[in-house]
Structure 1
């Protein structure tokens, strides 16, 4: 008998950087695009059919003038909205929501140029609250995670990897209900993966709730459920229930077709070490 689980979601993808059609059959019922040309991504979201991965999205990257990811070769044209004042930040949020965004993405990469100042960041968070959508931040560089947490950012787009966060900040993030998207596998050839795994392990132990996400489009990643991502989550101490919850969380907003679920035909593994291969064999199915 197959095992049925809730629909699986990759909570961090960039559809303009992959062959979107190849997502079919990869075990994902949904994806969340966290930065792209809003018009293009909104079109992709409208075009997803009942059996393809549904698409939710954040619209453009909201960034400081000349801030990350402007100037990156991979960054699609029209994918960055520069914030020139707190009032402009509020307008930028309204623009993304108007085109259909279910979340707002802001970039706080102090290693790659200017970042929104505290007034602009506060305006993004306040405007998102008014529209009842969460704020996701790309945090990179010393102190970026603390700035995001102090500002009330709801979700970190990556488990922090550029610094070991102190225990007080990790516990504060967990206590405030801040979510972390895992994205551990993008660091698999780098020492920074161990930093990220350590941060995630302490966040999970403090009661934090992770979201499975891979940053699909960033390097050579499987177009489906990623066994390496799950293996890294196991190394961070997440057990079967936590990993399935991270995969199946409907964040930020989900309209699954009736009956859509995850089907696993092999017997469940007896240990967490068997989870990566088992979950990576997931299929999108329909329960009758």
Structure 2
């Protein structure tokens, strides 16, 4: 490998050594920005292991809004951004799940009423629509008032009712009016299409229950939608589902789609920190090492990385894999899994 780390690891990578005045004086390696797990559940699992494993910041995607706001105020790492409660249809996922934290789900009625036919009926329908839109706006405002950086909706037709298009449109409009992106759990036939058609900003899982056609994937990428990977849960649970998710993500990435690293940490047994199974699956999906680093360091849901920083950086000690091994999923995964968080001033360019 050449001395120019950016040639294969991308512009976020720098060769460094540790200060001679600190621990492990003179240790060399690659410095990266603070790394982010973009899909966690901090009411279901503690983040201590994630921090020890190189993750400096996390995005919580479903919790009681008051509880997660309190967790996010805790000093130290990880820095936290969050969605607050899941917004779902009446009786929809995950309202009946035993794992859901108390207060973490808001069930919303449809905004699409039916007042009959004719001009009078149309006026009545408009009045009814405005009245039913109130709960949508109230639910979005509740999450915002607790400091949410985004809104999370559940579109899981496998597990129960889902929002109809007018209601989903109303949620997206209300969130965007407050400058908040919308992220969707899309599971079941047609759910990814529903989210894409509605202008949802992020899918919180690479679609895994159906193979999306190339045209739909291209439309999602062209609209600037991002997908959070969460591949390790499928590698753990079901090979066929994992292959569907990896295939969809491969084509989305090839179409120019924005990929975010995320693990769904809190969903059963998952390695904390930089998860080597997740990294290896991303490489299998066609992401180069530089792409994986970009997915890990992406500051979403904020526009800038300032929230992830606070004077820390990531050190991956030792040399990266040789050029001919950077396409090897296991080699890239094993290397990145050694990441650790250090004060930025302890690392010197070399």
Correspondence for 1:101 = 148
Aligned residues of 2:50 and 2:274 also touching (Cα < 8 A): no
Please report the RMSD computed on the Cα atoms of aligned residues, expressed in angstroms. 1.1
Correspondence for 1:181 = 228
Q: Does 1:160 align with 2:212?
A: no
Correspondence for 1:6 = 33
d(CA) in 2 for partners of 1:272, 1:259? 32
Correspondence for 1:45 = 72
Correspondence for 1:218 = 267
Aligned residues of 1:86 and 1:119 also touching (Cα < 8 A): no
- 1:21-41 residue CA offsets vs partner (Å, 9 max, x unmatched): 333312001000000111111
- Count residues in correspondence: 286
Correspondence for 1:268 = 320
Moved more, 149-158 or 187-196: 187-196
Correspondence for 1:66 = 91
Moved more, 3-12 or 19-28: 19-28
d(CA) in 2 for partners of 1:282, 1:124? 38
Secondary structure of 1:16's counterpart equals coil
Correspondence for 1:82 = 107
TM norm structure 1: 0.97
Shift of 1:71: 1.1
Shift of 1:257: 4.0
d(CA) in 1 for partners of 2:260, 2:198? 20
Q: Does 1:243 align with 2:316?
A: no
Aligned residues of 2:47 and 2:78 also touching (Cα < 8 A): no
Shift of 1:285: 1.3
d(CA) in 2 for partners of 1:235, 1:24? 25
Correspondence for 2:5 = none
Aligned residues of 2:299 and 2:308 also touching (Cα < 8 A): no
Unaligned runs of 5+ in 2: 1-27, 110-131, 346-350
- 1:81-139 residue CA offsets vs partner (Å, 9 max, x unmatched): 11124321121111101100001100000111111121211111111111111100000
* Pair member with larger Rg: 2
TM norm structure 2: 0.80
